[in-house]
Each structure stands twice: as structure tokens, then as C-alpha cells.
Amino acid sequence: MLKQSEGNPLKKHIITSAICLTLLAGCGQEEKTEVNTETKPAVLGSGITIANMDTSTRPQDDFYQYVNGTWLNNTEIPSDKSTYGSFIILRDQSRDNVNTIIEEMSALSDVEQGSDAQKIRDLYLSYMDIKKLNELGASPLTSELEKIDAISNYDEVALYFAETEILGISAPFGFFVNNDSKDPVNYIVYLTQSGLGLPDREYYLADNEKSAQLRIDYKNHIMAMLNLADFKNADEMATSVLDVETEIAKIHWKREDRRDRDKTYNKIETAKLSELMANFNWDAYLSHAGIISSENIVVREKSYFEALDNLFTKISIDEWKSYLKWSLIRGKANILGDTFENERFAFYGKRLRGTPQQEERWKRGVDSVNGLLGHLVGKVYVQKHFKPEAKQRMSELVENLREAYKQSIIDLEWMSENTKKQALEKLAKFTPKIGYPDKWQDYSALEIIPGDLFGNYQRAALYNHNRQINKLGKPIDKTEWGMTPQTVNAYYNSVNNEIVFPAAILQPPFFNMSADDAVNYGGIGAVIGHEMGHGFDDQGSKSDGDGVLRNWWTEKDLEEFKMRTGQLVEQYNHFEALPEEFVNGQLTLGENIGDLGGMTVAHKAYMLSLNGKKSPVLDGFTGEERFFMGWAQVWAYKFRDEALKLRLKTDPHSPAPFRTNGTLMNMPEFMKVYDVKQGDKMYRKPEERVKIW
């Protein structure tokens, strides 16, 4: 994935636009031929934003600052954001475009009940009715809180753990349905750890003053939220919740280990789950969750579940009830009115990410519609904002990158012919998805009721739950997308061996239809190469061209591959993002391999595209210079310190300056173009440069 999105990891499939006001079954691929198209400009620009550059910085010393320095120096992070840069700017633009669609829907008075337009309109309006939400306060939670209060034994605790899946809230573990990694033509259930209110286990376990203070602040936040819900013993409950979450955190796997596809593939017979957790009523859980018929199941973090078995009955029924009540309140706080939303933002926005101000309500309303009905909006978005010629040009770029990757693999000096053959077979089987799905997601089973925001969220959670479990026993749906077209991102899906590029990322600075090829190869070309690279990173390389998790490497080649990736880990471990706060090279390894391989192959593809001719000099820069500048300007990005600290602990992507410079310091092509020599800060000795693909 190019940039990890936030959200409930259990709901991710790991993995990863005339407006049609009536939103009829049309709004699909055939209508796109009616969209006005633009002809390719006779004279293409450089695609480089010269005003953003800091020419007082030598590119040989800090290429990131050289390309982006003036923008970095002059740009303030907006008060409602913890980070700001190209992704955020495009996401804001996408959200504005979606808002226009939603506003036009919301103005409609005569829509058919159950139609797409009705669902979009009434979900948005129910979110925007803050007066009603404030009046309701915590009252929508009453029936669920009563269910939790009625729990009297551990079997009923297990039953409610399954209920959390249906409600879309957190519990000590959850599940998702995806292709079986070793049998990807069939779906299977994956059990995985969960259950923490803080972002990571280390927040509970780190023994330093700042972490201790954060835990105090978190406990105070829990207590404040419980007080808002009129609990009389909020202080006692908050202490209990923090104690329970701390015990869960102690047995959580580290993020680095959770990346390992071998360690996290533990397939067992469903009937033998009781051997894994003897104290847990699996029959009650599986039956209520709707997955009782599954013969096998994959337990991602096996030792976690073994340890949870002991913890499950060590924690008292009353402690579990306090924990589950908090999980419910925390999970639904964003739809309970201003007091709950403001308190939630005060901790998760201000305290954890350093964001001074909450986003305006309409922005959160658009995000709500995107989150619950994203593909309904996407149908209109692509008609209004995605040009057919962009898809055609992207398809050409993808095939150019595929050819360059092929040549790169063939030319590898360190890889044997046997492994090359397997790699080339996998490359040939990559399936690209560009812009939008061929088949749109069906929301007919989801009812949206006017003025019932809480109920709409509950029904949406049930709809998503049923979509998951209804896959079991059915053929793999390879038309499914894990992102909406209006998402500014891209991803690789290993079990289907596919690379996916939503419509919203196909615009400057990533993809510029009015720019010369150089900047596009450095931007979207490197993104394409990056996603292809995930098929050959330290984890993606464990699957073959059919998505099967198996070792297709010779022993010697695999040893060499691990040696080279280990060097990359060490390089990034030494990048200091904040004073005494370093990048985690192991956590970010997959993305760093994607960046390095993506840029290496994109450069090769660009050079091949020239057919031996010299590139034009535009704005005073050669094509190769603009290629590297295109890469750097994609990562123009600013972080608040709190947000950067959070990302260093939890994000598998390196911070922007290191994605730029760290990649280029390994590329002899960059060293040659910019005449980088020993003594320059961007210089790395040839023997220390990492080349993988």
C-alpha cells in the first residue's frame, strides 16, 4: 500500500465522474464514453512546481529539501490536521468533489425509498442533524448497555465478543474473511488480535515519564466519557478498563511480527479451537458470529490466543463488563453528539496527534458517507471526475513498468535462473485495476432511515458483517475493490496478485496529463513500481503468481535476498526523524523495498520510453532530473511532532523525507545525474548501496 489508511484493521481485506442524480443501475462503465474528454496538449509542461523549490540547498546534500524546501518553509499545517502534504491536499480535493455530489443529493425532495440517492441523502442529513444528536446523547446505547449488564458468566462474555463483530466495535480479538493464503481460490476466516484503545502495545508498556503521563491522560479520558454517559462509578470503571487493556497489551504481538506472513498463517480445524483456548466457549462465539460452518480457520497470532485463554478467566466478569461498555462508547462516540465527539477529539485528536481543531462537521459528514456508502458515491465520482484517456494512459504506463520490471529481473546478477523464472511468471500474472471497479458493490441489503444516525451505523455494521460471512463457501470475487474510486491511495493484494490504482490518485503531483513523461514516471510510474514491488518485497515475495503462500526461491537466492533486505533495515534504523526518535527499519521494510524497487524500475521504464532519444529540457531541467524531482515532490509533507511520534511507532511507511532521500541514496542513477560525490550528504559508497530489484 502506498499510504496506510486509518481505521479498524479487522475490516481491511489484506490484505489493503453530467452527474447521475438519480443513481440508477446505470452510472457504470458504459456511460463513461459520454464524458467530455480532453485532447493531449501539443506542448507538454515540465510538471515541476518551481515555486516549491529551495535552490539554496544543494540537491547533492538534501534532495528532498531542494525540491520542496520553499513549500516546507512557507506552509503551515491547517489547524484541523495533524499532517499536511500532497496526499492530504488531494484527499481534501476529493472530499470537496464528493461533498458537491452529496449536497446535490441532499437537495433532492423526490427520491425513491431504497434508491442510491435516498441512502446517500438521508445518511448525510442524519449526520448533519446535530441538534437531534445532542438531544439523544448516549440514549441510543441503552439497549446494548443493558445487554452487557445482563452478562452473568464467561460463556455470555464470549457471546458478546461475537456481538462486537456485528456492532463493528473492538474486542480482544476479531475476525475477517479473505482468500486462504495457501489456497487462494477459497475464502477462509482469519482470527486476529485486537482490543486496545491506545494505538499500540508499547503505549501501555513503555517505562518512561511521557508514556506514564499519556496513560494517566487516557484514563482521565475514559472517565470523562463514562461520566458523559452518566455512569456513577466512572473512576473505578476507568481504572478497571486500563488494567484490562494493559493485560491484553502484554500478550499482543509486535507490529513487526504481525507483518510476517509465515508466522501469521496458522491454519487449524475449527473444531480444535477449544484446544487453543479451553476456557472460551467457541461454539457460542462462532454460532453468534455466523461462522460455525467453517471447517478450518487461520489464527494469525497463535501465541496471543494461547495466552488470552489464561487471561480470559483471570479477568472478572465485572471487569469484562466495564471493558465492553467502554468499547461500545469508544466505538460509537463519533455519532453521539457534540459532547462525546468533542471529548473523543480532545484525546485522540489533540493529545495523541497534536491537532488543535476538529474538522468542520460537513467534512466529517462526507467522511461518514464515504465510509458507509463509498462505492455508491464512487459511481457518480468517476463519471464526473475520471477521464477515459487517463485510464488508457495509465494502462500504458503499467505495461511499460511491467516490461521494465521484466528486464530488471532478467538482468539481476545475484539471482539464479530458477528463481528468475518464478519471478517472471509472477510478474506476468499481475492484474492491474485502474480507476474504478468493473462491478459495483451492491448496497440493496442496507437500509438507511431518515433521522436515525445511530441505527444507520448499526445497520451498516451488520451489512458489512454479513458481506464478510456470506463470502464463505462461494467463489472468489476478483472484481471486488478494497478502496473506493475517490480514495487517494493505491495497494497490492497478494492473494489475488493484483495492483490497484483508484481514480483519485491519478492527478498531479502523481499523474499529470499535461506534463512530459519524465515527471509522470517519477510520480505515478514510481507508484506503479511501488505496488508491483510489494509483490516482491520481504512478505509479498512469499507468494507466487497465483497468490499461493509458498517458497518459490532457491535456498541460496533467499539467503542473498534476506541479506540485502537486512542492509535496508539497518539503513533506515539510522534515520532520525525527531531527536532520539528513529525510523523502525523492520516495521517499514516492505514499504522501503517498494519505494526502492519502484523507483529503480520506473527509471528503467522512463529510459526505455525515450527509445534512445534525448529528453527535452523543460524549465531548465533534463528529463532525468525531472524524473527524480517528480518523485520528491510527491512526498512534500509536514507532520506535527505528536503525529510523527505516533507514526514512527505504528506506521509501516517511513516519514516522507526518508522515503525520498533514503531511496535515492541507493540509486547509482541518481548519483550520476546529480554528480553526487564523496563528501556530499546524499552520497553513499557503492558497496553500501542496496540493490534488490
Q: How many other CB atoms are found less than 10 A from the CB of residue 129?
A: 16
Within 13 Å, how many C-alpha atoms sit on residue 241's CB side? 31
On whether the CB atoms of residues 527 and 462 are closer than 8 A, the answer is no
Q: Which residue has the higher pLDDT, 296 or 43?
A: 296
Cα separation, 191 vs 588, whole angstroms: 24
On whether the CB atoms of residues 678 and 686 are closer than 8 A, the answer is no
Type and span of the H or E element at 84: strand 83-85
What does the pLDDT average to over 448-458? 98
CA dihedral for 28, 7, 256, 13, sign (positive or negative): negative
Judged against a pLDDT cut of 70, whether residue 275 lies above it is answered with yes
Q: Are β-strands 296-299 and 267-269 bridged in parallel, bridged antiparallel, or unpaired?
A: antiparallel
Q: Which residues contact 29 (CB under 8 A, 6 or more apart)?
A: 436, 438
Judged against a pLDDT cut of 80, whether residue 19 lies above it is answered with no
Cα separation, 476 vs 480, whole angstroms: 9
Question: How open is the CA angle 665-669-673, to the nearest 5 degrees?
Answer: 100
How far is CA 387 from each of CA 32, 437, 439, 519, 566, rounded to the nearest angstrom? 8, 15, 18, 20, 42
| Mean pLDDT computed over every residue of the chain | 93
- Per-residue pLDDT of 192-201, as tens digits, reads 999 999 999 9
Query: What domains can you pick out in the chain, each with its CATH number?
Result: 53-89+369-441+480-688 (3.40.390.10), 140-316 (1.10.1380.10)
Share of the chain above pLDDT 70, in %: 94
| pLDDT of 17 | 26
Q: Is 484 helix (H, G, I), strand (E, B) or coil?
A: coil
Judged against a pLDDT cut of 90, whether residue 21 lies above it is answered with no
What does the pLDDT average to over 587-602? 96
On whether the CB atoms of residues 510 and 501 are closer than 8 A, the answer is no
On whether the CB atoms of residues 20 and 637 are closer than 8 A, the answer is no
Judged against a pLDDT cut of 60, whether residue 459 lies above it is answered with yes
Judged against a pLDDT cut of 80, whether residue 6 lies above it is answered with no
| pLDDT of 96 | 98
- Per-residue pLDDT of 379-412, as tens digits, reads 999 999 998 888 999 999 999 999 999 999 999 9
Q: Which residues contact 8 (CB under 8 A, 6 or more apart)?
A: 168, 170
Note every long-range contact of 15-18, with CB atoms under 8 Å and residues 24 or more positions apart, other chains counting. 15/178, 15/482, 15/491, 15/492, 15/493, 15/494, 15/495, 16/482, 16/483, 16/491, 16/492, 16/493, 17/97, 17/380, 17/381, 17/382, 17/383, 17/384, 17/385, 17/386, 17/485, 17/503, 18/383, 18/384
- Per-residue pLDDT of 80-108, as tens digits, reads 999 999 999 999 999 999 999 999 999 98
Name the pLDDT band for 76 (thresholds 50, 70, 90).
Answer: very high
| pLDDT of 294 | 86
How far is CA 291 from each of CA 96, 274, 469, 540, rounded to the nearest angstrom? 40, 15, 7, 28
Judged against a pLDDT cut of 90, whether residue 647 lies above it is answered with yes
CA 306 centroid distance within chain = 29
Type and span of the H or E element at 88: helix 86-106
Judged against a pLDDT cut of 60, whether residue 35 lies above it is answered with no
| pLDDT of 16 | 39
- Per-residue pLDDT of 195-231, as tens digits, reads 999 999 999 999 999 999 999 999 999 999 999 999 9
> Helices (DSSP H) in 355-470: which residue ranges?
361-385, 388-411, 417-428, 453-469
Cα separation, 490 vs 101, whole angstroms: 23
Judged against a pLDDT cut of 80, whether residue 559 lies above it is answered with yes
| pLDDT of 109 | 85
| pLDDT of 33 | 27
- Per-residue pLDDT of 39-71, as tens digits, reads 445 568 999 999 999 999 999 999 999 999 999
- Per-residue pLDDT of 478-532, as tens digits, reads 999 999 999 999 999 999 999 999 999 999 999 999 999 999 999 999 999 999 9
Q: Name the CA radius of gyration of the chain, rounded.
A: 25
On whether the CB atoms of residues 143 and 347 are closer than 8 A, the answer is no
Type and span of the H or E element at 321: helix 317-332
| pLDDT of 8 | 38
Q: Which amino acid is at 426?
A: K
On whether the CB atoms of residues 382 and 94 are closer than 8 A, the answer is no
| pLDDT of 9 | 35
Cα separation, 496 vs 478, whole angstroms: 7
Judged against a pLDDT cut of 60, whether residue 342 lies above it is answered with yes
